[in-house]
């Protein structure tokens, strides 16, 4: 007599989602719009778990935009050439000069990791993700502007 035992598969709970490590990234950028044309460097430090963001946009040997903050204390954007000095509780409530509007740091990370976002196209990829991105949208006055990003550095930073 042969007996067969059939064990039910072990039920395992899915592992809790581990928040992604903070990311430090740097891009070369190009801009064309109603304010003229320019090139420079975009440097970012992003942590989706805390909503921390430090964004610096440099061009022409000067810092054009500084945006910093987190979910707990809110965000602050400074763009002296545009006479912009604004604070808001959420990233969605701030204008992002030269960039598409995003509701959160998590959404900004997704845009840069996958190239998904309104008006964004990926023109070149590698194993890490988009190497070159192009965004076409409208400024607050409704005029067309374009930005090209070329990834120079992408680093997951330990907590």
Give pLDDT tens digits for 32-56. 998 889 999 999 999 999 999 999 9
Helical H runs in the chain? 105-114
| Model pLDDT, residue 96 | 77
SS3 call for 64: strand
Of the candidates 34, 20, 32, the one whose C-alpha atom is nearest the C-alpha of residue 112 is 20
Residue 15 has pLDDT above 90, yes or no: no
| Model pLDDT, residue 122 | 96
- The 8-class DSSP code of residue 81 comes to G
pTM for the model: 0.82
Higher-confidence residue: 99 or 93?
Answer: 93
Residues facing residue 88 across a β-bridge: 75
Higher-confidence residue: 159 or 82?
Answer: 82
| Model pLDDT, residue 19 | 54
Give pLDDT tens digits for 100-140. 788 999 999 999 999 998 889 999 999 989 999 999 988 77
| Model pLDDT, residue 82 | 84
**Residues ≥6 apart with Cβ < 8 Å to 70:** 47, 50, 51, 52, 53
- Backbone φ and ψ for 40, nearest 5 degrees, come out as 175, -150
Helical H runs in 49-94? none
């Amino acid at each position: 007599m042969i007996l067969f035992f059939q064990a039910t598969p072990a039920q395992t709970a899915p592992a809790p989602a581990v928040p992604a490590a903070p990311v430090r990234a740097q891009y070369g950028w190009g801009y064309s719009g109603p304010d003229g044309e320019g090139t420079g460097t975009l440097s970012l430090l992003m942590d989706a778990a805390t909503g921390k963001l430090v964004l610096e946009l440099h061009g022409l040997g000067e810092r054009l935009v500084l945006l910093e903050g987190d979910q707990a204390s809110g965000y602050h954007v400074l763009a002296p050439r545009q006479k912009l000095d604004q604070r808001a509780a959420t990233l969605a409530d701030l204008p992002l000069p030269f960039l598409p509007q995003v509701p959160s740091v998590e959404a900004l990370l997704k845009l840069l990791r996958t190239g998904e976002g309104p008006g964004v196209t990926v023109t070149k990829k590698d194993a890490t993700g988009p190497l070159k991105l192009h965004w076409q949208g409208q400024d607050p006055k409704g005029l067309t502007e374009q930005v090209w990003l070329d990834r120079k550095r992408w680093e997951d930073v330990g907590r």
